[in-house]
A and B are shown apart, each in its own frame.
Chain A
Amino acid sequence: MNERIVIQGLTKTYKKNEALKDVDLTIPAGAIVGLLGPNGSGKTTLLKILTGLIRSYKGTVSIDGRPVGEETKKMISYLPDEPYFADWMRVKDALGIFQDMYEDFDKARCMDMISRFRIAEKARVRTLSKGTKEKFQLALVLSRRAPIVILDEPIGGVDPAAREVILDTILENYTKDQTLLIATHLIAELERIFDVAIFIREGRILLNKDVESLRMETGRSVDELFRERFRYE
């Protein structure tokens, strides 16, 4: 697999708090990658650096050989861990925004998902339940034909039944050469779709490995390994 994201010596400090400490990390193209760590481990900071939302840091971060910046921004479809639509908007307004903003947005595909999730186009974002809001944002993000898709806690706020639907939707939309990076602490639910697991703790990378080899070598699930490594937190 070729390298798509290459990170070298990445350090990010907030005031006195070091969120990322000298991180070296390579993420391949054509893989589904789980970024796994407890709250406050640096997952979201790392993702925000990749998406270009955080621009002050030490070290180098490149995507397909280019330093992160305006050019690489277009390559990434990003689902943040917090809602990003104003409450007064209707579903169709948000759709319009995505269509205007992103050339790679496939509206037909999005409409298909939205109807499958039983979300009405006329509904105001405010009236959607937490889970439905998450599904809606996921539909938007997955409808972009971007080479890199980053999902920050995509199933955090939904019930187990809806998780299955979301997982299926993620898989259906995944294409062969895409890099799909998913940050989550719900490992048991998601690990069957990962190619690679990255463990992150206190801003450092503990592990970056093919999950099948991990299972083969340890006889354990990714979830079990994670619980062992992070027991004392």
Chain B
Amino acid sequence: MKFEANIPIYLQIIEEIKRRIIIGEYKPGGKLPPVRELALSFGVNPNTVQRAFGELERDGLVYSERTSGRFIADDPEKIRGLREAVLVRKTDAFLEDMSRYGYDEKSVLAYINSRKKV
């Protein structure tokens, strides 16, 4: 995975873990890979992954069991919320960007609809 060097890496790791939860790669109630394993696969410092996990735990998206490791919250409602939040955030950002090029929502939507018919 490539990281942007000007944005805190732990925030980017949080995003990536959320993405994996949203698409079901990490299942509700399922076990997360150990810190070390993820750190190696991301090519980052284990402390950075630890920090990302800490944030996810504070958000209640992840919990840890003292002896058996870390798990994804078994809370489909929460995960659905996560998924919707992404749709809203990314779409809003996209529309905002398009408006800088003079496209309003209507014309963007018109394009999306025309595109479907192709």
Of A31, A172, A176, A219, which one neighbours B40 at CB under 8 angstroms? A172
Cβ of A224 within 8 Å of any chain B Cβ, yes or no, is yes
Contact digits for A178-192, partner B, Cβ 8 Å, 1 yes 0 no: 000000000010011
Question: Which residues of A are found within 8 Å of B48, using beta-carbon distances?
Answer: 195, 212
In A182-233, which residues have CB < 8 Å from any B CB? Answer: 188, 191-195, 212-213, 215-216, 219-224
Among A171, A176, A188, A191, find the residue whose CB has the most chain B CB atoms closer than 10 A. Answer: A171
Of B5, B40, B47, which one neighbours A191 at CB under 8 angstroms? B5
Question: Which residues of A are found within 8 Å of B10, using beta-carbon distances?
Answer: 212
Q: Bound state CA distance, A174 and B48, in angstroms?
A: 13
In A24-41, which residues have CB < 8 Å from any B CB? Answer: 30-32
Contact: B8 with A212, CB < 8 Å? Answer: yes
- Given A171-B39, A172-B40: A220 and B6 within 8 A (CB)? yes
Q: How close is A149's CB to chain B, nearest CB, in angstroms?
A: 14
Q: How close is A33's CB to chain B, nearest CB, in angstroms?
A: 11
Of B4, B7, B43, which one neighbours A167 at CB under 8 angstroms? B43
Closest Cβ neighbor of B5 among chain A residues? A221
Contact: A192 with B8, CB < 8 Å? Answer: no
Cβ of A168 within 8 Å of any chain B Cβ, yes or no, is yes
Of A195, A219, A223, which one neighbours B47 at CB under 8 angstroms? A195
In B43-85, which residues have CB < 8 Å from any A CB? Answer: 43-48, 51
- Given A212-B9, A212-B10, A221-B6: A171 and B40 within 8 A (CB)? yes
Q: Bound state CA distance, A194 and B5, in angstroms?
A: 12
Question: Which residues of B are found within 8 Å of A212, using beta-carbon distances?
Answer: 8-10, 48, 51
Closest Cβ neighbor of B3 among chain A residues? A192
Name 25 A/B residue pairs within 8 A (Cβ), A-sorted.
A30-B47, A32-B47, A168-B40, A171-B40, A171-B43, A174-B45, A174-B46, A176-B46, A191-B5, A192-B3, A192-B5, A192-B9, A192-B44, A193-B43, A194-B45, A195-B47, A212-B8, A212-B48, A213-B8, A215-B5, A219-B7, A221-B5, A221-B6, A223-B5, A224-B6
Q: A171-B39, A195-B48 are in contact. List 13 more A-B contacts (CB 8 A).
A: A32-B47, A167-B43, A171-B45, A174-B45, A192-B3, A192-B45, A193-B43, A193-B45, A195-B47, A212-B8, A212-B9, A215-B7, A221-B4
